[in-house]
Amino acid sequence: MKDLQTELQTLREALIEHSYRYYVLDDPSVPDAEYDRLLLRLKQIEADHPELITPDSPTQRVGGVALSSFPTVQHEQPMLSLENAFDDADVHAFNKRICQRLKINEPITYVCEPKIDGVAVSLLYEKGKLIRAATRGDGFVGEDITQNVRTLRSVPLQLRGKDHPEKIEVRGEIYMPITDFNAYNQKAHTLGEKEFVNPRNAAAGSLRQLDPKITAKRPLKLFCYAIGKISEENIFSTHYDMLMQLKAWGFPVNPEIEHVTDIQNCLVYYQEIQHKRETLGYEIDGAVYKVDSLIQQKALGFVTQAPRWAIAHKFPAREEITQVQDIAFQVSRTGALTPVARLAPVFVGGVTVSNASLHNIEEVWRKDIRVGDTVIIRRAGDVIPYLVSVVLDKRPENTKPIAFPKICPVCGAEVIKPDTEIVVRCTGGLFCRAQLKETIKHFAARKAMNIDGLGDKIAEQLIEHNFVKEIPDLYTLQLHQLIGLERMGEKSAQNLIAALETSKQTTLPKFLYALGIREVGEATALNLASHFGQLEKIISASQADLEGVSDIGPVVAQNIAAFFRQVHNCEIIKKLQTLGVWWNEHVVSQTKQILDKKIFVLTGTLSHPREEVKATLQALGAKVSGSVSAKTDYVVAGEDAGSKLTKAQALGITILSEEELKELLGSVTS
């Protein structure tokens, strides 16, 4: 018995503390599922040992205490909680209890409502005017938040019509829409301010602002779901009629509410609303079933803290508590290093979760996530689980902040983090195994080495069979290896071998672009080739030298310098040259400044490939845009030129035929 009393005391203290953090401080320390488990255990013990129930037990209360910062309000009729159902069996048991108490065998008519995950409020009206708004508090005494609630546009200050009672207390749930919640947190993050944990936490925190002007700036909304005290009785016969009358008086009523004829249809509603959950635009954590007949509701009455005629059918928990066992870094196909929390497996949102993406290193630092921490994990629908927050009270001693690795965990190349980015990246693009598929695809692209026939599926198979471990292996592929691949016959294999051989003769700009250096596109590759002329000079260039190239800023220069600092990248380039990849020396343009900053637009069908014309213009320092604007200098119009030509004529922009373009290029290069 002593052990049982110790467990009771521990449970009660934990629940009281969690309630205080949740309702008063708006800073929940555990997810709802953990709280529900503790409360269920306490109820089980007290049910088996009623002699151990005390007046201050959390099972004898409805919610938390009122905030001392606001005047208190005595509810004229208690604002009670609902009993919970966690599966179909609980729902059927609820229906069976109702039928037995009412002594009927026919189906019960219910009203089904989404269970809004917000803040319960009481709105008191006299002669149609709002005179007081209060929080639930402990169910008997709440906080007076009238001035704050008056700022909500969804709360009527004056009821519509003239048939409303002399005095009426309306109950509802105040919430913050998900998009508004995300926008608020994004802004708070940018400004370095405290972010809310979830939309319910945001609604509670907003309602408890001492300055109503702050509440007025928060995007809060209301759904009404019941009437408490009312001066005229028996004016409604059903709960559904009452909701429709509330709507007529100007109160927002949830559009997802449905009238159903038996308990089985309640379960159908549960599945439907759970399916809609991700598209509603506000958080719900279950469905509520209420006996529709108000006469039946009155006959059923209440237990200590809940009505017998209603129940909340909870969804599987979206949040759970677990422990971080390790933090690893995964390398994406583009070289980005993403921190991933390795978790003690936990069942949340309908699946067992053992990993959670932490997005980037700054996210880890902002939330101060450490190995050994107890954390709250959230999963919504099919969304990848993410780590909400750390339970600091349970942090072990001697934990240390996480630092991002200095080398890639896959290939050992240098890792860089540009000042303007939050992503950490591997610089071993040509040899990092994690990036190999993406590297092959880019290397083989038409605008790069133009290896016809080397697509996604073939690249995947070459990697899977270990035929290609790094880019130079492409040029050592044998016919018998390719023939064995799926969807690769002898003719296709011969064509790919031929395409690989043809690709060996290229140009310096194309080769530079094919290397896949971050943010080095066709234009930048061309500028590099035109500025330095030789690959060796680009490899040995300092970051300052690189910044001297047209259109290359500090970030791109850093990426280029870091790429060529990797000895293995340079070794792979040498291997490619040894295997026969070559290009003629690129002529350094001495006339680049003549067309520098001139903006061209190409339109219509040209006699030469558009990419070729574009490259020629870029080699002379021009910029080639895809759209016409007032800043455009020239529009080169081929046959069947359309809207771009029309717009250029309207703007008075110089229009050139291909012959006129040749004359212009001849004049600037002679």
**Residue 387 maps to which CATH number?**
2.40.50.140
* pLDDT value at residue 214: 87
Using the predicted structure, report yes or no on whether residue 322 has a pLDDT greater than 80. Answer: yes
- Identify the domain boundary among 257, 289, 314: 314
Q: Residue 321's closest CA among 3, 14, 657, 605? A: 14
* pLDDT value at residue 260: 95
Which pLDDT band holds residue 25 (cuts at 50, 70, 90)? low
Using the predicted structure, report yes or no on whether residue 669 has a pLDDT greater than 70. Answer: no
Using the predicted structure, report yes or no on whether residue 61 has a pLDDT greater than 60. Answer: no
Catalytic status, residue 187: no
Q: Tally Cβ neighbours within 10 Å of residue 395.
A: 14
Question: Hey, what are 356's tokens?
Answer: 């959670």
Claim to verify: residue 225 and residue 164 sit in the same structural domain: yes
CATH number (domain holding residue 602): 3.40.50.10190
The SS3 call for residue 602 is strand
Claim to verify: residue 82 and residue 56 sit in the same structural domain: no
Claim to verify: residue 345 and residue 469 sit in the same structural domain: no
Which pLDDT band holds residue 67 (cuts at 50, 70, 90)? low
The mean pLDDT value for 100-119 works out to 95
Claim to verify: residue 495 and residue 561 sit in the same structural domain: yes
The mean pLDDT value for 279-292 works out to 94
Using the predicted structure, report yes or no on whether residue 150 has a pLDDT greater than 50. Answer: yes
Find residue 313's DSSP bridge partners.
85, 287
The mean pLDDT value for 325-345 works out to 90
Alpha carbon of residue 252 to chain centroid = 29
DSSP category for residue 144: B
Q: Residue 204's closest CA among 21, 74, 420, 425? A: 21
Domain contains 578: yes
Domain contains 417: no
The mean pLDDT value for 241-248 works out to 92
CB-count burial class (<10 Å; 0-12, 13-18, 19+) for 122? buried
Domain contains 220: yes
* pLDDT value at residue 383: 62
Cβ pair 83, 42 in contact under 8 A: no
Using the predicted structure, report yes or no on whether residue 107 has a pLDDT greater than 60. Answer: yes
Taking the CA of residue 92 as centre, how many other CA atoms within 13 Å lie in the half-sphere pointing to its CB? Answer: 5
Q: Residue 482's closest CA among 513, 451, 510? A: 451
Judged by average pLDDT, the poorest of 233-247, 333-347, 348-362 is 348-362
* pLDDT value at residue 670: 47
Q: Residue 32's closest CA among 270, 378, 500? A: 378
Judged by average pLDDT, the poorest of 395-399, 625-629, 630-634 is 625-629
**119-126 sheet: strands from edge to edge:** 129-135, 119-126, 167-175, 221-230
- Identify the domain boundary among 583, 606, 621: 583
The mean pLDDT value for 606-622 works out to 78
Q: Are strands 582-583 and 505-506 parallel, antiparallel or unpaired?
A: parallel
pTM of the predicted model as reported, rounded to 2 decimal places: 0.57
Question: Hey, what are 93's tokens?
Answer: 């048991």
Catalytic, out of 115, 441, 614, 623: 115
Counting the structural domains of the chain, the total is 5
Residues 475-519: tens digit of each pLDDT:
999 999 999 888 888 999 999 999 999 999 999 999 999 999 988
* pLDDT value at residue 449: 95
* pLDDT value at residue 345: 93
Claim to verify: residue 154 and residue 290 sit in the same structural domain: yes
User: Which residues are CB-neighbours of 339 under 8 A, at least 6 positions away?
Assistant: 327, 328, 329, 357, 358, 359, 360, 361, 363, 364, 402, 404
* pLDDT value at residue 24: 47
Cβ pair 177, 153 in contact under 8 A: no
Which pLDDT band holds residue 591 (cuts at 50, 70, 90)? very low
CA-based Rg of the chain, rounded to a whole angstrom?
34
Judged by average pLDDT, the poorest of 423-432, 450-459, 589-598 is 589-598
Claim to verify: residue 498 and residue 536 sit in the same structural domain: yes
* Higher-scoring residue by pLDDT: 54, 344: 344
Cβ pair 561, 483 in contact under 8 A: no
Claim to verify: residue 579 and residue 596 sit in the same structural domain: no
Domain contains 413: no
Claim to verify: residue 146 and residue 80 sit in the same structural domain: yes
User: Which residues are CB-neighbours of 293 under 8 A, at least 6 positions away?
Assistant: 109, 237, 238, 239
Domain contains 212: yes
Q: Which domain holds residue 385?
A: 319-394
Judged by average pLDDT, the poorest of 21-30, 175-184, 213-222, 580-589 is 21-30
* pLDDT value at residue 526: 86
Which pLDDT band holds residue 380 (cuts at 50, 70, 90)? low
Cα distances from 327 to residues 53, 341, 361, 367, 390, in angstroms, run 44, 5, 11, 14, 14
CATH number (domain holding residue 154): 3.30.470.30
Claim to verify: residue 578 and residue 619 sit in the same structural domain: no
* pLDDT value at residue 65: 56
Judged by average pLDDT, the poorest of 66-75, 244-253, 589-598, 635-644 is 589-598
User: What backbone phi and psi angles, to 5 degrees, belong to 344?
Assistant: -65, 125
The Cα–Cα gap between 226 and 327 comes to 48
Which pLDDT band holds residue 70 (cuts at 50, 70, 90)? confident
User: Which residues are CB-neighbours of 196 under 8 A, at least 6 positions away?
Assistant: 181, 184, 185, 188, 202, 205
Alpha carbon of residue 373 to chain centroid = 23
Using the predicted structure, report yes or no on whether residue 657 has a pLDDT greater than 80. Answer: yes
The Cα–Cα gap between 600 and 632 comes to 6
Using the predicted structure, report yes or no on whether residue 617 has a pLDDT greater than 60. Answer: yes
- Identify the domain boundary among 347, 376, 394: 394
Claim to verify: residue 125 and residue 225 sit in the same structural domain: yes
* pLDDT value at residue 106: 93
Using the predicted structure, report yes or no on whether residue 589 has a pLDDT greater than 60. Answer: no
Q: Are strands 623-625 and 599-603 parallel, antiparallel or unpaired?
A: parallel
Claim to verify: residue 145 and residue 248 sit in the same structural domain: yes
* pLDDT value at residue 573: 95
Domain contains 68: no
The Cα–Cα gap between 229 and 246 comes to 14
Q: Quote the percentage of the chain above a pLDDT of 70.
A: 94
Using the predicted structure, report yes or no on whether residue 668 has a pLDDT greater than 70. Answer: no
* pLDDT value at residue 326: 93
Find residue 321's DSSP bridge partners.
376
The Cα–Cα gap between 529 and 460 comes to 32
* Higher-scoring residue by pLDDT: 563, 197: 563
The Cα–Cα gap between 37 and 655 comes to 75
String of DSSP letters for 103-143: T--SPPPEEEEEEE-SEEEEEEEETTEEEEEEE-TTSSEEE
Which pLDDT band holds residue 14 (cuts at 50, 70, 90)? confident
Domain contains 65: no
Judged by average pLDDT, the poorest of 206-210, 310-314, 662-666 is 662-666
CATH number (domain holding residue 19): 1.10.287.610
Residues 563-574: tens digit of each pLDDT:
999 999 999 999
**634-637 sheet: strands from edge to edge:** 623-625, 599-603, 634-637, 654-656
Domain contains 55: yes
* Higher-scoring residue by pLDDT: 304, 337: 337
Using the predicted structure, report yes or no on whether residue 66 has a pLDDT greater than 60. Answer: no
The Cα–Cα gap between 171 and 446 comes to 65
Claim to verify: residue 462 and residue 382 sit in the same structural domain: no
Question: Hey, what are 391's tokens?
Answer: 């339970």
